Chains A and B, each alone.
Chain A
Amino acid sequence: DVKVTQSSRYLVKRTGEKVFLECVQDMDHENMFWYRQDPGLGLRLIYFSYDVKMKEKGDIPEGYSVSREKKERFSLILESASTNQTSMYLCASSGDRGRMNTEAFFGQGTRLTVV
């Protein structure tokens, strides 16, 4: 069974802390994504990666960075957490670059609260 695993389900951090959200997939997918989801705003893409060490900005990259040192792992980093980064964070992966019908598989989500 395909799997995308996020390291934490719930996380509470203090303002100014450096926060790491980890995501691991076991499907050998090339593409990995980080989204944040807020009520009324849907899913917004933060960053994505289509290969090891490659990354591209999504729609809302400010305040975030990412790391992809290995194909199966994609980390989201909040350099200095702020209260407006309180949100649900979703990691996803997809394979077969160039094929249209490859769906994205999602992790269970991390609900981050910054206090």
Chain B
Amino acid sequence: AQKITQTQPGMFVQEKEAVTLDCTYDTSDPSYGLFWYKQPSSGEMIFLIYQGSYDQQNATEGRYSLNFQKARKSANLVISASQLGDSAMYFCAMREIAGNNRKLIWGLGTSLAVNP
């Protein structure tokens, strides 16, 4: 069954340091996409970064990068040079192309606190 696992309920990081948020996934479909979203305390979900299963390179978007290890089925989010505004919930999600590819499968999230 499709599944996303985020094993870190909460994380702390010092401002200006890098932090890695873990995400592992389970799927039997060779074609899928992986997404990371940020949810600040205001509640809105904000898209951060996308990685396709056939992408040769790890995705990067500004201070966000994705450490994609296909054989291990992991897609960890790396935030470099953490800022106070990075304090939020972070969710990993997956979409498969087989079946109904309109739906996203979600992890339970990781709460990140950035300390000054």
CB distance from B8 to the nearest CB of A (A): 14
B101 within 8 A of A: yes
Q: Are A105 and B47 in contact (CB under 8 A)?
A: yes
Whether B33 contacts A43 by the Cβ 8 Å rule is no
Q: Mark A88-115, 1 if CB is under 8 A from B, else 0.
A: 1010101001101101111111010000
B102/A106 in contact, CB under 8 A: no
Q: How many A-B residue pairs have CB under 8 A?
A: 53
Residues 73-96 of B, flagged 1 when their CB comes within 8 A of A and 0 if not, give 000000000000000000100010
Instruction: Knowing A92-B45, A101-B33, A106-B44 are in contact, say whether A42-B101 is a contact too (CB < 8 A).
Output: no
Interface size bracket, B side: 20 to 34
Q: Are B102 and A42 in contact (CB under 8 A)?
A: no
Complex-state Cα separation, A37 to B46, whole angstroms: 15
Decide if A42 touches B52 in the complex (CB within 8 Å): no
Interface residues as binary, A70-81 with B (CB distance below 8 Å gives 1, 0 otherwise): 000000000000
Q: In whole angstroms, how far apart are the Cα atoms of A107 and B35 in the complex? A: 17
Are the C-beta atoms of A109 and B102 separated by less than 8 Å?
A: no
Residues of B that sit less than 8 Å from A by CB: 31-33, 35, 37, 42-47, 50, 52, 91, 95, 97, 100-104, 106-109
